[in-house]
Amino acid sequence: MSSVRFEETESGPALVSGGLRLAVDRERGTFALTDTAPGGAALVDAATAVTLSDGRTFTSSGARFVPEPAAPVQDAQGSGLSLRLRSAGAAGAPVVTLTVTLYEDQPFAVVQSEIENTTGEALKVASFRVVDGARVELGSPAAGWKMYKEGWQNWSPAMVLPVSGEDIYMAPPVIGPITGPPSAAGRFLSEMMTAIVDPASGAALVAGFISTADQFSQVWLDRGPAAVTAASYADGISLPPGAALSSERLLLEPSREPLASLQRYGDALAREMRAVPWPQPVSGWCSWYYYWQGVTEEHILANVASLRWRREQLPVEYVQIDDGYQAGIGDWLTPNEKFPRGLGWLAGRIHDSGYRAGLWLAPFMIGEKSQLWKDHPDWAVQYKPGRPYIAMINWDQYCYAMDVTRPDVLEWLEKVFRTVFEDWRFDYIKIDFLYAAAVDGIRHDPDVTRAQAYRHAIELIRRLADDRFILGCGHPIGPSIGLMNGARIGPDVAPFWYPAERPREPGRSDLSTVSTLNGIRNVASRFWMHNRLWLNDPDCMLARDSDTAMTADEVRTLATVIALSGGMTLDSDNLMRLSPQRLELLSMLLPVYGRSGVPLDLFQSDLPQLIELDCGTHRLLGVFNWGDAPAEVRAPLPPADQHAFEAWSQDYLGVVRDSITVTLPAHACKLLALRPALSQPQLVGTSFHLLQGALEAGAEHWDGAALRLLLRPVAKREGDVFIRADAEPRAEGAAVRRAGDGVWALRLRIEAETELRITFDDPL
């Protein structure tokens, strides 16, 4: 138990907790945060600043900090010690205060800026630079670093960029409109948070906002000065004389383990925002990626019937109707002619078949062709006075951004969602294109930030949804936390690998359009959100081998990424047209394990080639080739003997240690089950579930000369359990065959939890 210590030094006060030291320079109006271990990361010369809408900036840099006495705090992050540092600016200027906190047993600091209007007139606050151009010291020059770039909303790319290159260009709605510093050579911009890693030294810095309800925030790195700035946007809301306004709270963690620090940041963000991930994994079927907008009532009924027929093989919980049932964009309560019996009736049929019912809506979009727009041409956010804000051109029309600060809009939203939940009885909603509520424009209420306008509307939906499942999509990340149970974390997958129009610069200029590869990229990067902020939705599984341009390898890669994400697992196919092989593939994803893997080389590779999932009894290692040609991929392994079994081919690869090299076709993967090698017979893999025993295999123990193996039923009822043994095994009810050198396949059915008793012939 490390407690936080206060020290008074010549240059100013300091806080110390474990190996973390935060020292204030009173005269210069800055602080430094240092990992005191040799070679540890540091953030130095960190000043804080506030900018008003008229362009005036007040900074602590060069102005003195006047520290108040250190005070104990107890908040969502635990107990600690805080220092409030008032920056005494010029006479008549507002007062800028920085609060810095260290916590017991936490390797991070939390800092927050505040402006107090000590002037006689109202001020409009544009933004805080909670940390303004602070120098990052990681050991070697910034040109060799890697930086995690987080996106504004779920379709925005989230990925690690080499700092030697340049940032990637993105346009709204994938980035927050208007927010942000001017782009500059060597400037890398990330939304809400970042992790900066020096691969040469191993040192890293995580800088991320942990409160995200009221203000959008960004963090950027400037390569030249190796300086980081963390901004929190107040969007020009007014501050009356005598009032104070705070920025969001920023976590700063010098680190040597960036992957662990990302997860710790996710934990801190989830605690602060009271995240509401769903307690169980979620599985289902979704209409979008096969039927698109052409979906009909008959299609839904036919797939529900198909699921029913295969209830054992495809044990999913939800049937989700996507885009295509509504009369117009905004006319959610009026079904079109393809849904003649209405949505309430259809939800009833889904329930009768034993499934929970889900419905898609884009509640903050108003299509110009909708009845809603005809009735309410004044409901849009304005881009200039009198001009409605176009949130997107989609569905062959301009779609306007809804002004959710209008009381009549909130009343309408309440009516829509009450109908969906109470009359139609849906259990699950996929609310989509949500960013439309958070665009930068003129609203009925001028004194709310974009984030507040958005969050207030989502809060209403959350209240109406009660304990039903909310899946967010097209949503800005920060202000959604604490209100959504599940969240899409990437662009849409598709029945093709690359974006339909291949970008000129492969993989760089078009990272947010519909394509399976684009979807997968974000699933790998945003692993740290899963089960913390919400359940990650890696987007749907497309298992089909007709009506698709995906190769069998690409389909297996998508399945592997979804399985290793631990996230929501919804299939989106015409189930009647799935071949027995592809049905079996789907089966092997069910039930959903629910825990996320870790992209081991996130900070080394352009796209992680190694995703590891620890299942307790064994580890799974997904090894991927993202290249367009066959390639060898080398995966480092612990320096101990372990059995390697490949899940897709069901090949035993022998005992491995230190590393393994696999040869992979383009866009293909291997999924290795790795188990510590014992000097006795043991389970090495199964063909029941892709995760190789995580769900279907329980404890293994010896009873005299017999190996007892606990087995549980999963979706696939008949399959093989692979046992490594020198002598041939026997077990009641299992047909045994040799499956490789020293490996035996025991074919059996698992209908109920059973203990398999395996005996062995004497070795010759």
Residues in contact with ligand 9PG by CB under 6 A are 155, 288, 322-323, 360, 394, 432, 473, 492
CA 319 to chain centroid = 23
Select 115 or 493, whichever has its Cβ closest to ligand 9PG.
493
CA dist 762 and 764 (Å) reads 6
The alpha helices in 292-394, defined as continuous H runs, are 297-309, 342-352, 371-375
Select 294 or 340, whichever has its Cβ closest to ligand 9PG.
294
Q: Are 319 and 285 in contact (CB under 8 A)?
A: yes
CA dist 169 and 442 (Å) reads 26
CB of 657 to ligand 9PG, least distance (A): 43
DSSP states along 179-199: -SPPP-TTEEEEESEEEEE-T
Q: Are 577 and 547 in contact (CB under 8 A)?
A: yes
CB of 174 to ligand 9PG, least distance (A): 8
CB of 303 to ligand 9PG, least distance (A): 16
CB of 510 to ligand 9PG, least distance (A): 11
Select 145 or 360, whichever has its Cβ closest to ligand 9PG.
360
CB of 538 to ligand 9PG, least distance (A): 12
SS3 label, residue 32: strand
Select 365 or 695, whichever has its Cβ closest to ligand 9PG.
365
CB of 227 to ligand 9PG, least distance (A): 34
Main-chain phi, psi angles of 173, to 5 degrees: -90, 10
Q: Are 366 and 379 in contact (CB under 8 A)?
A: yes
User: 422: which DSSP letter?
Assistant: I
- What separation in angstroms does the CA of 203 have from each of 142, 143, 179, 199? 12, 14, 30, 7
CB of 621 to ligand 9PG, least distance (A): 29
Select 346 or 365, whichever has its Cβ closest to ligand 9PG.
365
Select 70 or 359, whichever has its Cβ closest to ligand 9PG.
359
Structure tokens at 140: 């070697």
The strand pair at 187-191 and 217-222 is best described as antiparallel
CB of 472 to ligand 9PG, least distance (A): 10
User: Maximum Cα–Cα distance for the chain, whole Å?
Assistant: 96
Select 292 or 309, whichever has its Cβ closest to ligand 9PG.
292
CB of 567 to ligand 9PG, least distance (A): 14
CB of 432 to ligand 9PG, least distance (A): 5
Q: Are 36 and 21 in contact (CB under 8 A)?
A: yes
Q: Are 217 and 191 in contact (CB under 8 A)?
A: yes
Q: Are 556 and 284 in contact (CB under 8 A)?
A: no
The alpha helices in 662-750, defined as continuous H runs, are none
CB of 711 to ligand 9PG, least distance (A): 37
CB of 702 to ligand 9PG, least distance (A): 50
Select 82 or 565, whichever has its Cβ closest to ligand 9PG.
565
CB of 324 to ligand 9PG, least distance (A): 8
Strand blocks (E) in 275-427: 283-286, 318-321, 356-361, 365-367, 382-384, 387-388, 390-394, 397-401
Which amino acid is residue 296, in one-letter code?
A: T
Select 114 or 432, whichever has its Cβ closest to ligand 9PG.
432
Select 288 or 417, whichever has its Cβ closest to ligand 9PG.
288
Select 393 or 655, whichever has its Cβ closest to ligand 9PG.
393
CA dist 443 and 434 (Å) reads 16
Structure tokens at 75: 């908040």
Closest CA to 475 of 171, 152, 157, 211: 152
SS3 label, residue 751: coil
CA angle at 560 for the pair 556 and 561, rounded to the nearest 5°: 120
Position of minimal CB gap to ligand 9PG: 323
Half-sphere exposure of residue 702: CA atoms within 13 angstroms, side-chain side: 8
CA angle at 457 for the pair 451 and 463, rounded to the nearest 5°: 125
Which amino acid is residue 724, in one-letter code?
A: R
Which amino acid is residue 251, in one-letter code?
A: L
Select 281 or 358, whichever has its Cβ closest to ligand 9PG.
358
Select 54 or 501, whichever has its Cβ closest to ligand 9PG.
501
Main-chain phi, psi angles of 417, to 5 degrees: -75, -30
